[in-house]
């Protein structure tokens, strides 16, 4: 685990939070970073895995740990964002799925399930400040939050069908929780990536912001809208609304890992992933 919890811009040393502070490794090794504003109680959870915040096993485990820490500390809001200036997250790290080690592949998918369960089901209000491109798994993370603010001129969407893969049911339920069913169906079947403006128009994001700072402020404003609601009533309402989606995955968690492993290992899927990786690398040159 390589994430660090920082309160009010400095590592918290209060008795109350002492247990929270996990050992810091060298700054360049950190994959997530949590800063809690001690006045507002809002936590900023920043993904920091250059160059594209590809969701590999380590980043997913860090994210899960950080979400749990934020929840345990009873923060009043969680804002998910990225340390990159252009990428929120490139989604799942394809290297985890291409010619995979079988045991690690299972751990990888389980870690993704755990992040989704923790974020989608979080008792703490959640928002995403989407400060860069957000395809596939990146879009899943943002859509799992309750509110999204995006910077202009980026793209977001579940593009799995364009890669020849099928988004699992819980990816689709997350989309359906945000978008009208017909729009979700079209977007999912087309594997459509939306520009920031298009995403705003269809409701995939709630607001646009010119800068990351403005996006963070807008997320905080969203949290402030709960000032007059009872936090427990708020959470129980969210929990009920999201219950079926969460239960569906919990009931099939092991089977879902098996399906994923079976799917990824198919020669045609391996071939497709290999070609896709190659095209990404060629583009990068």
Ligand X SMILES: CC/C=C\CCC/C=C/C(=O)SCCNC(=O)CCNC(=O)[C@H](O)C(C)(C)COP(=O)(O)OP(=O)(O)OC[C@H]1O[C@@H](n2cnc3c(N)ncnc32)[C@H](O)[C@@H]1OP(=O)(O)O
Residues involved in catalysis? 92, 137, 159-160
- Contacting residue, 107, 195, 259, 265, with ligand X by CB under 6 A: 259
CA angle 242, 247, 252 (to 5 degrees): 140
What is the Cα–Cα distance from 156 to 200, expressed in whole angstroms? 11
Nearer to ligand X by Cβ, of 8 and 274: the residue is 274
Question: Percentage helix, strand, coil, to 5, in the chain?
Answer: 50, 15, 35
Nearer to ligand X by Cβ, of 73 and 113: the residue is 113
92 near ligand X, judged by CB under 6 A: yes
DSSP designation for 36? E
CA angle 70, 158, 4 (to 5 degrees): 25
- Contacting residue, 19, 86, 211, 229, with ligand X by CB under 6 A: 86
Nearer to ligand X by Cβ, of 45 and 193: the residue is 193
CB of 232 vs ligand X, minimal distance in Å: 34
What is the Cα–Cα distance from 28 to 3, expressed in whole angstroms? 11
- Contacting residue, 62, 69, 160, 206, with ligand X by CB under 6 A: 160
Q: Is 91 helix (H, G, I), strand (E, B) or coil?
A: coil
Contact 196, 156 (CB under 8 A): yes
284 near ligand X, judged by CB under 6 A: yes
Positions in 115-134 near ligand X (CB under 6 A) = 133
- Contacting residue, 35, 61, 82, 91, with ligand X by CB under 6 A: 91
275 near ligand X, judged by CB under 6 A: no
Tokens 């934020």 locate to: 70
CB of 7 vs ligand X, minimal distance in Å: 31
Positions in 15-54 near ligand X (CB under 6 A) = 51-52, 54
Contact 51, 99 (CB under 8 A): no
Tokens 């002492």 locate to: 18
- Contacting residue, 108, 147, 170, 260, with ligand X by CB under 6 A: 260
Contact 136, 160 (CB under 8 A): yes
Window of 66-74, 91-99, 220-228, 247-255 that interacts with ligand X by CB under 6 A: 91-99
Nearer to ligand X by Cβ, of 120 and 260: the residue is 260
Number of residues engaging ligand X in binding (CB under 6 A): 29
Interacting residue ranges for ligand X, rule: CB under 6 A: 51-52, 54, 86-87, 90-95, 133, 135-137, 159-160, 163, 165-168, 259-260, 263, 280-281, 283-284
């Amino acid at each position: 685990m390589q994430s660090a919890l920082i309160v009010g811009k400095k590592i918290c040393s209060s008795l109350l939070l002492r247990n929270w502070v996990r050992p810091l490794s060298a700054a360049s090794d950190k994959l997530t970073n949590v800063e809690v504003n001690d006045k507002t109680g809002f936590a900023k959870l920043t993904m920091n895995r250059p160059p594209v915040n590809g969701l590999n096993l380590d980043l997913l485990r860090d994210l899960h740990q950080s979400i749990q820490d934020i929840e345990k500390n009873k923060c009043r809001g969680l804002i998910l964002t990225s340390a990159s200036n252009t990428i929120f997250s490139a989604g799942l790290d394809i290297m985890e799925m291409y010619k995979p080690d079988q045991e690690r592949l299972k751990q990888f998918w389980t870690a993704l399930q755990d992040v989704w369960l923790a974020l989608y089901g979080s008792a703490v209000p959640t928002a995403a400040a989407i400060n860069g491109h957000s395809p596939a798994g990146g879009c899943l993370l943002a859509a799992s939050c309750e509110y999204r603010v995006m910077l202009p001129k980026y793209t977001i969407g579940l593009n799995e069908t364009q890669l020849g893969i099928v988004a699992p049911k819980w990816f689709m339920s997350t989309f359906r929780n945000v978008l009208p069913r017909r729009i979700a169906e079209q977007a999912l079947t087309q594997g459509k990536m939306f520009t920031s403006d298009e995403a705003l128009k269809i409701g995939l994001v709630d607001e646009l912001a010119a800068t990351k700072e403005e996006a963070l402020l807008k997320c905080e404003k969203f949290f402030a809208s709960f000032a007059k609601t009872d936090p427990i009533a708020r959470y129980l309402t969210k929990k009920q609304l999201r219950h079926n989606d969460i239960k569906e995955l919990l009931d099939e968690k092991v089977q879902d890992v098996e399906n994923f492993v079976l799917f990824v290992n198919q020669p045609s899927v391996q071939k497709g992933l290999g070609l896709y990786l190659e095209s990404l690398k060629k583009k990068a040159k």
